[in-house]
């Protein structure tokens, strides 16, 4: 019995292994390519911090390997972002054999929109949210109180914020997938709207580090994304088959 089960799952295991190899290889190659331009990328990431306060003119590092590790983490972030479409595509290719023809077409559309939403979230965080957060944090600086942010911690902060916003913008993607899987229907999201709105406000407050303006800037697009998710779930949700008499 056990041998039959292993024989049944073996093809799926090999397929999953092959897909994961593709994903990790793409991330590794993208990370390696990004590392070649790590200094230029770091300069772009540091620019919002230097522009946030006239008292900021440099970053510091207090551990000898810190700069190298910071550049490596930054390259990994860029590698993950660049590889995100490949990740979604490999997930689609893994589940595609079990989908109907029309569902495969929908999956292609979802991969496209999932990638677009993720990239939009990352860019929104970097260009809209991050500058306001940095301005708020550096507002405590005074001539007698000079901020000395560390390079590694700052780049980690930027990476964490960007990835968090990118994943937060996946709300419609997750809602549509839940609807297609038959887990929930659009009516559930409508009836629980106030609860989800409250959760979005809390999430935006945490991601905005308590800054009211950053919370508003994040919450408003998340509200719109939630409503878009409700609409798309109703549009693409699984249709119930009529019961036989």
Is 198 a member of any domain?
Answer: no
| Higher-pLDDT residue of 101, 80 | 80
Find the helix or strand (DSSP H, E) in which 121 lies.
helix 101-124
Is 138 a member of any domain?
Answer: yes
Averaged pLDDT for residues 218-244: 72
- In three-state secondary structure terms, 150 is strand
Concatenated DSSP letters of 171-186:
HHHHHHHHHHTTS--H
The percent of residues above 70 in pLDDT, for the chain, comes to 82
Is 224 a member of any domain?
Answer: no
Is 233 a member of any domain?
Answer: no
Query: What pLDDT score was predicted for residue 10?
Result: 52
Instruction: Flag whether the pTM goes above 0.75.
Output: no
Is 218 a member of any domain?
Answer: no
Is 222 a member of any domain?
Answer: no
Give the burial string for 207-231 (b: 16+ CB within 10 Å, else e): bbeebeebbebbbebbbebbebbbe
CA distance 31 to 230: 36
Is 146 a member of any domain?
Answer: yes
Q: The domain containing residue 103 runs over which residues?
A: 2-169
Tokens of 2: 């056990």
Is 201 a member of any domain?
Answer: no
| Higher-pLDDT residue of 60, 57 | 60
Of 170, 190, 130, 124, which Cα lies nearest the Cα of 154? 130
Specify the number of domains making up the chain. Answer: 1
């Amino acid at each position: 019995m056990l041998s039959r089960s292993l024989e049944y799952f073996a093809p799926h295991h090999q397929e999953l292994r092959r897909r994961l190899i593709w994903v990790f290889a793409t991330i590794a190659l993208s990370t390696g390519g990004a590392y070649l331009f790590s200094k230029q990328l770091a300069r772009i990431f540091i620019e919002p911090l230097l522009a946030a306060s006239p008292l900021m003119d440099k970053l510091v590092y207090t551990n000898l390997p810190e700069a190298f590790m910071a550049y490596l983490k930054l390259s990994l972030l860029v590698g993950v972002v660049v590889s995100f479409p490949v990740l979604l595509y490999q997930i689609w290719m893994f589940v595609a054999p079990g989908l109907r023809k029309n569902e495969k077409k929908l999956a292609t559309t979802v991969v496209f929109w999932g990638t677009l939403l993720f990239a939009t979230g990352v860019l929104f965080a970097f260009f809209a949210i991050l500058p306001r957060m940095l301005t708020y944090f550096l507002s405590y600086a005074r001539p007698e109180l000079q901020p000395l942010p560390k390079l590694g911690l700052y780049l980690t902060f930027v990476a964490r914020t960007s990835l968090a916003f990118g994943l937060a913008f996946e709300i419609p993607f997750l809602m549509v997938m839940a609807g297609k899987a038959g887990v929930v229907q659009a009516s559930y999201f409508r009836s629980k709207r106030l609860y989800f709105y409250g959760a979005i406000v809390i999430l935006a407050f945490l991601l905005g580090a308590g800054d009211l303006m950053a919370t508003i800037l994040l919450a408003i697009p998340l509200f719109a994304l939630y409503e878009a998710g409700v609409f798309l779930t109703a549009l693409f949700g699984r249709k119930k088959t009529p019961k036989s008499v």
